Structure 1
Amino acid sequence: MKRLFFRVFVVALMGVLAAVAGLVWFALSPVGLRQSPLDFTIEPGSGMRQVARQLTEAGIDTWPPALVFLARVTRQANGIKAGSYEVEAGVTPLALLNMLTRGDVSQAELALIEGWNFRQFRAALDRHPDLRHDSAGLSDGELLARIGADASHPEGQFFPDTYLFSRRSSDLEVLRRAHRQQQKILQREWDKRAEGLPYPTPYEALIMASIVEKETGQAADRPMVASVFVNRLRSGMLLQTDPTVIYGLGPAFDGNLRKRDLQTDTPYNTYTRPGLPPTPISMPGVAALRAALNPPSTDYLYFVARGDGSSAFSRTLTEHNRAVARYIRKQAP
């Protein structure tokens, strides 16, 4: 009887050892890939069986039951993170599970450029191949509601930066992050603002920063440009800034700003209406916000582009007219 028990024990032990050896062999043997590198996505809320199925459907040649068992044995079954991943030839099931539990997602990126308007921003989102386009068909108002923004107009509400995200992420999530970042930075810069500014709210400062962003060819000129507009607001002068007029023309603008455009009244025409326009006209960056909220003390009231990206600043209309003659009309000083 003892001898029979011993034989059964030995057979069982050999079976266990064989199973362990088989599992180790499976865990450390490279899987087959339909192509290398291979991109695949694990959907949110997927259990381990669903994960195994998604892997095989994506072109990873592995045995799903063995992968599920390996995940349970290594206590990784409940730690799989959703997202987009990339694997190359030679990856093993164990390395694959380690990647999925660490969340080593493959990332894409989208650059939102300082000075872009919201129409350009949405176009960049719409044409990005690695985003899920959940905002398609939404109006601007519906889009703002979906990301939890309490703004009534989208312009200026998103911070220009390079955003990294997992492939197949929602474009609404990128929008949400850009909006949160803009609110955070705007409040931070507002809290450090100079005293006596002619705009009493952070939103009006955002409008001013968006104008400074569009009027500046060189970064070093931003503070001086801001000082000109602040001086004009304080003295009751019209801002008379072309970018606001262009923004008011919208898609109808053909690249050529005409005299009749400057004379046609719109809410954004700062040649016909005093004060700031009703909304920002672009996405301002940090430098433009800082310039708008801490402009230097100057007595400049005018500036004109020199043609090399920089601006010439003037205190009087006579000085300004001379600068226009020199830099725009190319007349000798």
Structure 2
Amino acid sequence: MADYKSGDTASWDFEQVRRSQSNSPARRSQSGGSGRRTQDSQPPANRRRRKKRHFNVVTYILFVLVTSAILAGVGWLLINDLCAFNKEDITATIEVTADDTIGSIADKLHDAGLIEYKWFFRLFATVADAKDKIGTGTYELSTEMDYRALIVGMHNSSGNLNSDTVRVTIPEGYTVSQIIKLLAENGVNTEENLLEAAKTATFDYDYIDNNSEDISRLEGYLFPDTYDFYLNEKASSALNRLIKNFNSKLDEEKLAQAEARGYDLQDIITIASLIEKETDGTDQANIASVIYNRLEGPGDKGGTYGMLQIDASLLYALPDHTGPITNEDKQVDSKYNLYKYAGLPPTPIANPGLASIEAALDPADTNYYYYALGKDGKHHFSSTLAEHNAFLNSGDYAG
């Protein structure tokens, strides 16, 4: 039998009586008959829950404040590293090899004390397209340089240990082959490397066919302009710079209008390239009108029926051709032979300038179906075959 004290029994009896009284109808009626508990009669468990909710709100506010302070502190540290604030003066020589990646370059910069946060530099370098700007070489860098300056300081010098530059002007109407030869002659890179890049490099533009290994995939998209290149610059980066410049010149609104008429970007640039190779420099819009009239017209203007009959396209298929086009040349079985095949050639035939691109997007409104070069160096346009033949038999035709 268990031990107990008489006081225990008394205490138990008292608690039982108190609970019985609290549950009696008379006891409940003392609350006012409304069925609601008074503040004094509220169960302790409810009071504990209310205190707990109050504690959670305070904790949440403290958490937000502490987290904000931490993030602000971390953000300030990252900004300091990004902008090269409050850094110890350090100068280091960094060697970049052909096998280096952005990650390994970040490791080298960190090990040299030039940056603090490798992951943040990698993130910045990705956004800044640093992979196309950093080349192999040995570079003198310092902590006075922010992230952007570090990347610029390691600019392309592939295969060479200097950062000398060369200015090259690419004429309007040059083909990809001509541009590559021009770049090679100016020391941008070797013709072999540039040709290889034109065939196999991946370019991040949906109008470039990265599955093709023919340099014609770049035809029309290397924008003619004046550029400053690094000597022995990475070949793919040099070509990518020309494509990027081309991309910046596109008029999206006018392209949308062209697509509504049934012409995509390649069609427009192909037409622009034909204009570029045919124009005397002042008549791009009129030549564009002839091309569109022949493509879209009924074909009753001397039986054109979509036949563009443009010499420049045939010559693209005959790169070694010299002298005037002959009737024999016009029998060559090539899709670029627009005497034999209707419609546009399979690719652009050159890299057009802005005036020719704009003319292809916004041709003149004419009834012209023909043009021929006069002795005055200007093209003379005709609406009918009879008018055209009359000019050809005149003394004004250049022959």
- Is 1:209 paired with 2:272? yes
Aligned pair partner of 1:228 in 264, 275, 290? 290
CA drift of 1:194 comes to 6.0
Using the alignment, how far apart are the partners of 2:256 and 2:358 within structure 1?
A: 9
The residue number in structure 2 matching 1:173 is: 237
Structure 1 residues 164 and 316, CA gap change in structure 2 (3 angstroms): same
- Tell me how far apart the structure 2 counterparts of residues 315 and 196 of structure 1 sit (CA, whole Å): 26
Q: Distance in 2 between matches of 1:242 and 1:107?
A: 38
Residue 186 of structure 2: aligned partner:
128
What is the correspondence of 1:50-129 to structure 2 with a 5 Å cutoff? 81-83=153-155, 107-129=165-187
Larger Rg: 2
User: Given the superposition, is the C-alpha separation of residues 109 and 267 from structure 1 closer, same or farther in structure 2, using an over 3 Å criterion?
Assistant: same
Distance 1:178 1:291 in 2: 21
Aligned position for 1:315 = 383
Partner residue in 1 for 2:345: 277
Displacement of 1:110 in angstroms is 1.5
Unaligned runs of 5+ in 2: 1-92, 97-104, 113-137, 158-162, 298-304
Pair 163,255 (structure 1): closer, same or farther in 2 beyond 3 Å: farther
Aligned-partner residue type, residue 111 of structure 1: T
- Give 1:249's match in structure 2, choosing from 318, 342, 356: 318
2:330 aligned residue (252, 259, 262) = 262
SS at 2:357's partner residue? helix
Task: Check the 8 A contact 2:194/2:236 in 1, yes or no.
Answer: no
Distance 1:42 1:212, change over 3 A: farther
Cα deviation for residue 195 of structure 1 reads 8.3
Q: Which amino acid aligns with 1:229?
A: I
Most deviating of 225-234 and 258-267: 258-267
Please give the alpha-carbon distance, in whole angstroms, between the structure 2 residues aligned to 1:313 and 1:281: 23
Over 3 Å counting, the alpha-carbon distance change for 1:300 and 1:322 in structure 2 is same
**Does the CA-based 8 Å contact 1:118-1:154 persist in structure 2?**
yes
C-alpha RMSD of the superposition: 3.5
Aligned residues: 249
Q: 1:270 to 1:76 in 2, by over 3 A?
A: closer
The AA in structure 1 aligned to 2:292 is V
In the alignment, the residues of structure 1 paired with residue 314 and residue 277 of structure 2 have an alpha-carbon distance, to the nearest angstrom, of 12
Q: Distance in 2 between matches of 1:277 and 1:130?
A: 31
Q: SS state of the match for residue 314, structure 2? A: helix
SS in 1 for 2:166: strand
- Specify the SS of the correspondent of 2:380: strand
> What secondary structure is seen at the aligned counterpart in 2 of 1:169?
coil
Deviation of residue 136 (structure 1)?
4.6
Amino acid at match of 1:127: E
Contact 1:133–1:171, Cα closer than 8 Å, also in 2: no
Report the Cα distance in structure 2 between the residues aligned to 1:286 and 1:191, rounded to whole angstroms. Answer: 14
Instruction: List gaps (5 residues or longer) in structure 1.
Output: 1-40, 50-57, 59-66, 86-104
* 3-state SS, counterpart of residue 228 of structure 1: helix
In the TM superposition, residue 168 of structure 1 has moved relative to its aligned partner by 3.5
Matched AA of 2:178: Q
Q: 1:137 to 1:271 in 2, by over 3 A?
A: closer
Residue in structure 2 matched with residue 200 of structure 1 by the alignment: 263
Q: How has the CA–CA distance of structure 1 residues 273 and 82 changed in structure 2, closer, same or farther, with 3 Å as cutoff?
A: same
Which deviates further from its counterpart, 220-229 or 177-186? 177-186
1:254 Cα deviation after fit = 2.3
Letter in 1 for 2:314: V
> Are the structure 2 counterparts of residues 77 and 163 from structure 1 closer, same or farther at C-alpha, using a change threshold of 3 Å?
closer
Shift in alpha-carbon separation, 1:107–1:186, aligned structure 2, 3 A: same
The residue number in structure 2 matching 1:30 is: none
TM-score (norm 1): 0.64
Cα contact 1:84–1:107 (8 A) shared by 2: no
Instruction: Please report how far the alpha carbon of residue 253 of structure 1 lies from its aligned counterpart in structure 2 after TM superposition.
Output: 1.3
- In the alignment, residue 315 of structure 1 is paired with which amino acid? S
Distance 2:195 2:367 in 1: 48
> Deviation at 1:127?
1.7
Q: Match for residue 142 of structure 1?
A: 200
**Structure with bigger RCO (C-alpha 8 Å, 6+ apart):** 1
Deviations 1:99-124 (CA, angstroms, capped at 9, x unpaired)? xxxxxx75321111110111101111
| Distance in 2 separating the partners of 1:229 and 1:310 | 18
Aligned equivalents of 1:154 and 1:215: distance in 2? 20
1:158 aligns with 2:158: no
Q: Deviations over 1:298-321 (max 9, x none)?
A: 101100011333100001101101
